[in-house]
Chains A and B, each alone.
Chain A
Amino acid sequence: MPIIEVENLVKKFGDFTAVNDISFSVEPGEIFAFLGPNGAGKSTTIKMLTTILKPTSGSAKVAGYDISTRRDAVRHSFGIVFQDPSVDDELTCWENMDFHGILYGMPKELRHKRITDMLGLIELLDRKDDLVKTFSGGMRRRLEIARGLVHHPKILYLDEPTIGLDPQTRNHIWSYIKKINEQEGMTIFFTTHHMEEVERAAHKVAIIDHGAIVARGTPAELIAQTKTTTLEEAFLKLTGHGIREEEASGTDAARRQRQMWSGRR
């Protein structure tokens, strides 16, 4: 039985169709790469699968539960690393991790052990009592990934997890992800623009463009299908060479505004 099963999922924002009637499934223990150019509908799909956006129509089951009617059960089954930052700047590194562990109902001993392990892995253990607002972009990213992993979920969503990371950290994180995938059979659902990450880690790939799935298969199958030599070429062949426009989310404006506020906070 697939652990993620998506059927005819549609999401419209007004006139704009962000996700247009997609269907796919992910098997338990699979590392699944969900690829597409900017604005193709990747994040919107992840938001629906993680219950923070309601589908316009269609349905999906995550860990056997319907995402619209069994939201709480679905929420128990996954961890997620969002594309944009979601750590609390005003808390310390440790507090962010601990708060997460408490939200997911982890017993104290296990929680503290895991957090210590994870912070060791991302080499932030010596900065654990520092406020996150003093961290660099790369450090925040590492913290964010560590936090998504701390409760060892059945499914882990990674929405462009390695954005802004140097090759060293990227390597580190990917070897850890592969390790827990093998050891715990954790299903990994990720998006990225780094095709070498996909070739190295992914068992299955789906490519989405303009809200519709244009290709599915193993990386090797996609390369063979498109008669190309690398996944990057296959990707470009499937989605075209034009550069995509993505709508600003208003978050940038908000960040600017915050500069004004931060003096008062």
Chain B
Amino acid sequence: MRIIGSLGQPVLLLVALGFGLGPVFEKAGTSNYLQMLAPGVIAGGILFTAVFSGVELIMDRQFGFLKETLVAPVSRFNIMFGRTLGGATVAVFQGIAVFILALLIGFRPTSVWEIFPALLVMMLIAIFFAAFGTALASKMRDMQAFPLIMNFLIMPCLFLSGAFFPIDGLPAAMKIVVKFNPLAYGVDGLRAFFTGQSYFGLGHDIIVLVVLGAIFLTIGAVLFEKIEA
């Protein structure tokens, strides 16, 4: 149920945007919009699943299970790290599922086998956002702020990442916003593998994601260490 539920949105994006905007892009000279869109939607799928996995901490906290781990003789860092890796792994599987769906809908990467090196970028996106979600959740008592996170952090991350449009032609102000969006580097990295096109350059993407991932894992660990029940 959960898997089917979580694949609904990516399919909708691929079908509605892919087929809906495809002709418009074609007229504008981009031969195949779906080629550009698919890596964006894959990154988006990972983004959602990873952040949710982090935010699940709030649920565990409210329903009491978190206390069981907080009193256990296991270091808080290990607990936080384990949660993040677990969530990230699920998110990568989500990304793979979206990739397969995209293939079915008509996405044609340079080679299907590019999925394997692309897993690296997918894992980096997933770790960053899972750690990000955990860090946020460590500071939250209940789910009240959840719609806020959704509308002011997650959605902007997705829509301002260049997942749905090329970064090249953007107005200067918007380009700056995109440059400060971590997901933009994930989308760009996936595009580099799947379609051979990259705006920032693959090396640049990976470095940014690794550095940000490390920073947020640290922040998450520090905040998690301070959780009280």
Contacts from A to B (Cβ < 8 Å): 47, 50-54, 72, 75-76, 78, 80, 82, 84-89, 100, 103-105, 147, 250-251, 253-255, 257-258, 261, 264-265
Contact = CB atoms under 8 A, between A and B. Distances in A.
28 contacts: A47-B228, A51-B71, A52-B67, A52-B70, A52-B71, A52-B229, A53-B229, A54-B228, A72-B75, A75-B72, A75-B73, A82-B64, A84-B64, A85-B64, A86-B65, A87-B65, A88-B68, A89-B63, A103-B74, A104-B73, A250-B141, A250-B142, A251-B64, A254-B62, A254-B63, A254-B143, A258-B59, A264-B2
Contacts of B69: 103
B229 A47 contact: yes
B29 interface: no
Given A52-B228, A76-B73, A254-B62, A100 B68 contact: yes
Nearest to A99: B68
A86 B141 contact: no
B139 to A, nearest CB: 15
A238 B69 CA distance: 37
B195 to A, nearest CB: 34
Interface in B63-113: 63-75
B171 interface: no
Contacts of A82: 64, 67
A254 B142 CA distance: 7
A247 to B, nearest CB: 14
B5 interface: yes
Interface residues of B, number: 23
Contact of A85 (B5, B63, B142): B63
Q: Which 6 A-B residue pairings sit nearest by Cβ, starting from the closest? A: A86-B64, A254-B62, A103-B72, A52-B229, A75-B73, A76-B73
Contacts of A53: 228-229
A50 B63 contact: no
Contacts of B62: 250-251, 254, 258
Nearest to A91: B65
Contact of B73 (A105, A257, A258): A105
A78 to B, nearest CB: 8
Nearest to B227: A52
A167 to B, nearest CB: 26
B9 to A, nearest CB: 13
Interface string B136-177: 000001110000000000000000000000000000000000
B227 to A, nearest CB: 8
Contacts of A104: 72-73
Contact of B143 (A84, A89, A257): A257
Contacts of A80: 71
A204 B66 CA distance: 31
A52 B227 CA distance: 8
Nearest to A147: B68
Contacts of B2: 264-265
A88 B61 CA distance: 11
A72 B73 contact: yes
Contacts of B74: 103
A51 B64 CA distance: 16
Nearest to B60: A88
Contacts of B64: 82, 84-87, 251
Nearest to A50: B71
Given A103-B74, A264-B5, 15 more contacts: A47-B229, A50-B71, A52-B67, A52-B70, A76-B73, A82-B64, A82-B67, A84-B64, A88-B68, A100-B68, A104-B73, A251-B62, A253-B142, A254-B63, A254-B143
